Structure 1
């Protein structure tokens, strides 16, 4: 689009939705609009601002503002206008190659929420959890903020820090400082247990995920895998076509994978090739399993009888696509809703597992930064979280949020047990060892994975 025509970009974008409008540019450079009265009103407003506003205006900002307002009027958190920087970040996320903290963020009911951290990312290491409510980013309130604006504040160059002020249900408000890094490219992680069960964790649905999954299945089958646990926990979704391709690995040819409904018209997507996996399988999900992850979970259950284990999923049942413009900006728009094979719409409802399983309560505790110091006479939610961690490790701490002499003695005992300086202050190496032991305990006591394997073994008999 020519630069001298920037001032009609908003009209041209809108006109793509209707052909009942024409533009006439006079010799004096004025623009007249004939056709639909609604578009004449829009241009009249633009002209008035351009000609009469008491300060100098910026054509591009006016155009961007018009588009942003049009998209915002849809009241849909998944439809958004992205400027050049935001569009680049979105495209990088889809290709699973970018720098930041590595967490999917969404706006829901006016709140900026963590959908799920990415495996191996700074966000996961910092202990971010699904449904964490981001109250502030580097001290700036997210109230009334668009999700794209929040993401632009959170994302940044490798090695830089971002401070998040969070609210976590059942824990309270916590501050987390995260050092940004390069986000891992891999989206599929697989291992074979001693019982010949293939555990396949899928962290997102990016451009190469279906190929990664096929390779993981082939490698596990060569090693003698007798069954599979498909771990979709904390998987925020991604590319719909990848979910369809991957679901086909577990579903017989001709069976329905999903349906897409657009303005009342339904399109049914079926398995187009012979299934790849014939061994028993189960799917593992939690509240961070969203979008494409929910497509796959529902497809495997409803069209292949595969049981779902874990917790209710996030509940995102809409489909978006992105329209890129010559200046690098983009509009991401909800174009349809997707339905499960039986025609159910899980939007804002989620998918209930057939077999429910939760992680231990300490799995929801926040990350404590080794850079912060907690000592005698301190108090608050973070002290209370630390006390619960010590409880989980077998120490007789009271979770009252008070750093009293009794808790100081417990910290000293922990330090002595781990060859640390026994000064009774929770900071530095003491905090690092505490967090590492909690993570190791959770890894060794993954009650959801244990339940999934238990269910799978019954299927394997």
Structure 2
């Protein structure tokens, strides 16, 4: 319902199956050729070679050698117990490389593997995933009725991704909601357009960055120039639901807002060596700024948020960020497969490691409960006398829109019927009193409009910005 490494934009989930999976929000993608094979005399590999020989000689069927070798590499990486490290076969690696510079077909959400579960990090703005109602922290239990328990993010992405116009059904568990929720999603083409902006009054502009992709810094510079010509005097930079992306883009964009020479972030390797990244202050973004963050702001978004907060005294508004404080690199094998792995920690300018902790906003603003209501399938027939979690959701939606069903416990009584009829009459729909089809679609549409209009986090950001502009 609302807008809302490895993490691939699931394009699918879409993103970099970013997330999707796994773009897991890595930032920075460096690829180097790797020579497969090596010195067979290395003692530490003798057990591995022996296991392979035993299976090849004694297994009751012929081995698929490629599959066995890929499985061994995948197991090696999974043993790191790091959701941001993963092995990709040729097809998955191909999707990964395309994910930051092209368009995709999928649902448009970012996922990661966490404690054996596939978790939504963030749906992309305007994506099928967002429109269907996927939310950060939703746990994906099944894809088209198939359990994905124990799957890697890469494996999950391959199930979720698909051609434009095809349907996929995710069964999710949402924190704080009883039972499971089935969410049907029609896949679509997901363009990687990462910057959206507009004037919102009183000389204030709002710009949202949805991911840090190949051209994000250029897109942002162009948008800021456009808005300045329209009279922009202050900016709300919206990083909510931004799962991150490329490190070089985080550096370039952070440099627009942080004074030259100030630290943007630090990278610490496993030996404790620290490298500082400093602002080159590119661009002319010298105007009051407030930044919006939430639990879907991860990785490169957190680098930007931490940089402006600690090196430019820019206030943050919203909710605590996701908490991804590691850096990944990707290396290709000659056959086109790929391994992505964590190489270092990144720290804020003041040396804070925000991994699994997130960044706290200066002004915490929660969203109304109706922002997190689950999706309702228009094919469901909710009518008088029925009792279910779906009825409860329908009643909560009606209440959020100003209708009074009298109860929100999930029992469809006379008053619920009357309020549904009242809504139907107000929206030129047949007054059946049944919550289904066009009625469900219109309720969801109206709720989305309300969410877009009534944004307490944005309202607070504007309030803070106006004080900064004085």
The answer to whether the superposition gives a TM-score over 0.5 is yes
Partner of 1:185, secondary structure, is coil
Paired with 2:65 and 2:184, the residues of 1 have a C-alpha distance of 38
Residue 408 (structure 2) pairs with residue 402 (structure 1)? no
Paired with 1:75 and 1:270, the residues of 2 have a C-alpha distance of 32
Conservation of the 8 A alpha-carbon contact between 1:282 and 1:452 = yes
Partner of 2:248, secondary structure, is helix
Aligned to 1:196: 203
Residue 143 (structure 2) pairs with residue 143 (structure 1)? no
Aligned to 2:11: none
Conservation of the 8 A alpha-carbon contact between 2:122 and 2:242 = yes
Find 1:228's aligned residue among 211, 223, 235: 235
Conservation of the 8 A alpha-carbon contact between 1:119 and 1:203 = yes
Aligned to 1:416: 425
Partner of 1:298, secondary structure, is helix
Find 1:344's aligned residue among 336, 344, 352: 352
Conservation of the 8 A alpha-carbon contact between 1:137 and 1:162 = yes
Aligned to 1:450: 459
Q: Give the superposition deviation at 1:176.
A: 0.7
Deviates more, 1:167-176 or 1:383-392: 167-176
Conservation of the 8 A alpha-carbon contact between 1:174 and 1:381 = no
Find 1:285's aligned residue among 280, 283, 293: 293
Deviates more, 1:61-70 or 1:270-279: 270-279
Residue 99 (structure 2) pairs with residue 99 (structure 1)? no
Conservation of the 8 A alpha-carbon contact between 1:97 and 1:183 = yes
Partner of 2:265, secondary structure, is strand
Paired with 1:170 and 1:422, the residues of 2 have a C-alpha distance of 33
Q: What is the CA RMSD across the aligned residues, in angstroms?
A: 1.5
Partner of 1:69, secondary structure, is helix
Paired with 1:217 and 1:44, the residues of 2 have a C-alpha distance of 61
Conservation of the 8 A alpha-carbon contact between 2:90 and 2:336 = yes
Post-superposition Cα deviations, 1:211-232, rounded to whole Å, max 9, x if no partner, equal 1011111111111211111100
| Number of residue pairs matched by the alignment | 434
Q: TM-score, normalising length from structure 2?
A: 0.90
Structure 2 unmatched ranges of 5 or more: 1-33
Aligned ranges for residues 59-458 of structure 1 at < 5 Å? 59-172=65-178, 173-263=180-270, 264-274=272-282, 276-397=284-405, 398-458=407-467
Structure 1 unmatched ranges of 5 or more: 1-10, 16-21, 23-32
Conservation of the 8 A alpha-carbon contact between 1:253 and 1:275 = no
Conservation of the 8 A alpha-carbon contact between 2:221 and 2:283 = no
Paired with 1:124 and 1:208, the residues of 2 have a C-alpha distance of 23
Conservation of the 8 A alpha-carbon contact between 2:35 and 2:333 = no
Q: TM-score, normalising length from structure 1?
A: 0.91
Aligned ranges for residues 28-67 of structure 1 at < 5 Å? 33-34=40-41, 36-67=42-73
Conservation of the 8 A alpha-carbon contact between 1:96 and 1:206 = no
Partner of 2:201, secondary structure, is coil
Structure of greater Rg: 1
Post-superposition Cα deviations, 1:85-124, rounded to whole Å, max 9, x if no partner, equal 2222222322251110000111122221111111111011
Partner of 1:268, secondary structure, is strand
Paired with 2:336 and 2:83, the residues of 1 have a C-alpha distance of 21
Higher-RCO chain (CA-CA 8 Å, sequence separation at least 6): 2
Moved over 6 A (4+): none
